[in-house]
């Protein structure tokens, strides 16, 4: 039979969501989200921006993220991505050129380690 198709939602360029947004599956943001965001897999595209309290299993930042971020698995910041604020995650990947500015707390096996402050850009 095969795998079930993945649920994909897109907030396109020119669209702004202000308030509470909750989604399952993959959410691709090319527009702007403000307020509160909950999802499974969130991708902020190069043209996208999120200014919100956000919770998700996996987040990829190719655009701009500002706010509080809680990621149960992996936070990945792409070369053109910028992530700032209070961040809690299990795994953190910052690709060359990606920007990270904020307090990062690593979550391991349900426990939190002490927060560390990071600011800067990864250089190639």
Q: Tens of pLDDT along the chain (124 residues)? A: 455 557 899 999 999 999 999 999 999 999 999 999 999 999 999 999 999 999 999 999 999 999 999 999 999 999 999 999 999 999 999 999 999 999 999 887 654 444 555 555 554 4
For residue 34, being part of any structural domain is answered with yes
- Going from the C-alpha of 31 to that of each of 16, 23, 28, 59, 113, the distances in angstroms are 6, 16, 9, 16, 33
Q: How far apart are CA 55 and CA 37, in angstroms?
A: 6
Q: Structural domain of residue 74, as residue ranges?
A: 8-121
For residue 1, being part of any structural domain is answered with no
Stated pTM of the model:
0.85
CA gyration radius, the chain: 14
Specify the number of domains making up the chain. 1
Q: What is the pLDDT of residue 109?
A: 60
Q: How far apart are CA 47 and CA 82, in angstroms?
A: 12
For residue 67, being part of any structural domain is answered with yes
Alpha helices in 13-92 (DSSP H): none
Pairing of strands 111-112, 99-108: antiparallel
CB 87 within 8 A of CB 69: yes
C-alpha angle 107-103-61 in degrees, rounded to nearest 5: 80
């Amino acid at each position: 039979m095969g795998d079930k198709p993945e649920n994909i939602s897109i907030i396109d360029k020119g669209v702004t969501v202000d308030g509470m947004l909750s989604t399952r599956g993959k959410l691709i943001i090319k527009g702007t989200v403000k307020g509160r965001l909950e999802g499974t897999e969130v991708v902020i595209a190069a043209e996208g921006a999120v200014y919100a309290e956000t919770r998700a299993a996996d987040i990829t930042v190719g655009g701009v993220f500002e706010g509080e971020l809680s990621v149960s698995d992996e936070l990945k910041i792409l070369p053109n991505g910028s992530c700032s604020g209070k961040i809690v995650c299990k795994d953190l990947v910052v690709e060359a050129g990606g920007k990270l500015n904020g307090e990062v707390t690593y979550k391991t096996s349900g426990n939190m380690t002490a927060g560390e402050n990071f600011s800067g850009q990864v250089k190639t």
